[in-house]
A and B are shown apart, each in its own frame.
Chain A
Amino acid sequence: GIQVEQSPPDLILQEGANSTLRCNFSDSVNNLQWFHQNPWGQLINLFYIPSGTKQNGRLSATTVATERYSLLYISSSQTTDSGVYFCAVERGQAGTALIFGKGTTLSVSS
């Protein structure tokens, strides 16, 4: 099956710093999503990005499908950005179940 690897596993930042999270996947995929899991366990959609670049405020994501990786950029980090960031890819056709990476745990201190 498809393997999804995220790096780094842990990241510690000072407020205001920028960061880049990486997601590598082992096969071509139809869908790639980035999620943020807050301290209460809620998974929040950040991006649906099978290819190309998207931006939403201080966050942006780029997926290079031909090279099988995706990057999540967080600029001017805030303490509320803390939590676990997951990359997930679809197993097959659109709408099928996701395969998750192990996540990157981000801690932002003031």
Chain B
Amino acid sequence: DVKVTQSSRYLVKRTGEKVFLECVQDMDHENMFWYRQDPGLGLRLIYFSYDVKMKEKGDIPEGYSVSREKKERFSLILESASTNQTSMYLCASSLDGTQYFGPGTRLTVL
């Protein structure tokens, strides 16, 4: 069965903190994605990766970076968290087009 896991379901951080969101998939998928979901704005693409050590910017990469050192793991980094990064963060992976999502991390930045 397909499995995408995210390190935390809920996270509360302070403004200015460095935040790491981890995503792991066990399906040997090459493609991995980070989206954020906000009321009224839907899901928006932050970054994606087609292979280890490769990354591409999505629609809203400002304030974020990513790391993909191993095929199964794709990390989203908030270099200096701000209140406007309070959101639901969703990770996904795919191989042949079908995307599978993790459970999401609801991040609150105070």
**Contact partners of A31 in chain B: CB under 8 A:** 97
Q: In chain A, residues 89-106, which have Cβ atoms closer than 8 Å to a Cβ of chain B?
A: 90, 94-98, 100-103
Cβ–Cβ contact A33 & B90, under 8 A: no
A43 contacts the other chain (Cβ, under 8 Å)? yes
Which chain A positions have C-beta within 8 A of B95? 95
Give the distance in Å from the alpha carbon of A43 to the alpha carbon of B6 in the complex: 13
Q: Which residues of A contact B50 (CB under 8 A)?
A: 95
Q: Kindly specify which of B14-22, B65-73, B76-84, B99-107 makes contact with the partner chain.
A: B99-107
Does A109 sit within 8 A of B, measured CB to CB?
Answer: no
- Tell me whether B54 is interfacial, beta carbon within 8 Å: no
Q: Is A41 an interface residue (CB 8 A)?
A: yes
**Residue contact A97 to B33, C-beta cutoff 8 Å:** yes
Question: A98–B99 contact, CB under 8 A?
Answer: yes
Among residues 18 to 41 in chain B, which have CB atoms less than 8 Å away from a CB atom of chain A?
A: 30-31, 33, 37, 40
In the complex, chain A residues whose CB is within 8 Å of the CB of B98 = 33, 45, 48
A94-B97, A97-B33, A97-B58 given as contacts; is B88 within 8 A of A41 (CB)?
A: yes
**Residue pair B31, A102 in contact (C-beta under 8 Å):** no
Flag B38-64 by CB within 8 Å of A: 1 or 0 each: 001011010010100000001000000
For B45, give the chain A residue with the smallest CB separation. A97
Assess A94 versus B101: contact at CB under 8 Å? Given A41-B88, A100-B42, A103-B42: no
Knowing A30-B97, A90-B97, A102-B42 touch, does A95 contact B103 (C-beta < 8 A)?
no
**Considering only CB atoms, which chain A residue lies closest to B105 in the complex?**
A41
Residues in chain B near residue A48, CB distance under 8 A? 97-98
Structural contact, B100 and A41, CB atoms closer than 8 A = no
Q: Residues of A at under 8 Å CB distance from B?
A: 30-31, 33, 35, 40-45, 48, 86, 88, 90, 94-98, 100-103
B residues at A contact (CB < 8 Å): 30-31, 33, 37, 40, 42-43, 45, 48, 50, 58, 88, 90, 92, 94-101, 103-104, 106
